[in-house]
Amino acid sequence: MAILNILHYPDERLHTVAKPVTVFDEHLQQFVADMAETMYQAPGIGLAATQVNVHQRVVVIDLSESKDELLVLINPEIIEMDGQITYEEGCLSVPGIYEEVDRAERIKVRAQRVNGETFEFAADELLAVCIQHELDHLNGKVFIEKLSRLKFNRILQKLKKNQRKTL
């Protein structure tokens, strides 16, 4: 397995819309394993392929404390949404930034497993928020872009300042 490089905002590649996965093979299985290892090491609870500069519709999520409940979503789509929840979100592509975002509280998802088998499930609260956050990445969006213009600009200034410190 390999640790993949996570893109950081405002990298333009984070705005690339991911394409559907059409080949379910050993390469995909290895990529999913690498994504999971990268997410766990970061550490994070979710990672979209877009964040590691692979523009395919692949997401890994694990909300468990023990890090042994990996959820792999290939070609995920939200088919139902209900309610509203405000949750403080962070992102591996926007390190150190946490802001409240409004999302659907309950969702129903259709996706494929790494072997291509289609499945559906319901999710609520944190899992629903995480899935919506990761699907935004697959659609070329980053959570801070959902914030007010004032908050967004403040965060952008902070990111630029932090970037200058690391150079």
The Cα–Cα gap between 153 and 140 comes to: 19
Q: Over the stretch 27-69, which tens digit does the pLDDT of each residue have?
A: 999 999 999 999 999 999 999 999 999 999 999 999 999 999 9
Query: What is the reported pLDDT for 165?
Result: 73
| Three-state secondary structure call for residue 7 | coil
- Counting as low any pLDDT under 50, the low residues of the chain are none
The Cα–Cα gap between 91 and 85 comes to: 18
Question: Residue 131: which of 52, 65, 72, 54 has the closest Cα?
Answer: 72
Contacts of residue 65, Cβ cutoff 8 Å, sequence gap at least 6: none
Fold of 12-166: Peptide Deformylase (3.90.45)
Query: What is the reported pLDDT for 56?
Result: 98
Query: What is the reported pLDDT for 162?
Result: 78
User: What are the boundaries of each domain within the chain?
Assistant: 12-166
Distances (CA, A) of 26 to 2, 6, 30, 57, 88: 15, 22, 6, 16, 36
8 Å CB contact between 5 and 13: no
Query: What is the reported pLDDT for 167?
Result: 64
- Checking DSSP bridges between strand 106-112 and strand 71-82, what pairing results, if any? antiparallel
Residue where the block lists tokens 């997401």? 59
Query: What is the reported pLDDT for 160?
Result: 82
Select which of 77, 125, 134, 145 is catalytic: 134
Is 134 among the catalytic positions? Answer: yes
DSSP codes joined into one string, 85-131: EEEEE--TTSTT--EEEEE-SEEEEEEE-TTS-EEEEEEEHHHHHHH
| Three-state secondary structure call for residue 67 | coil
Query: What is the reported pLDDT for 66?
Result: 96
Query: What is the reported pLDDT for 49?
Result: 98
| Three-state secondary structure call for residue 32 | helix
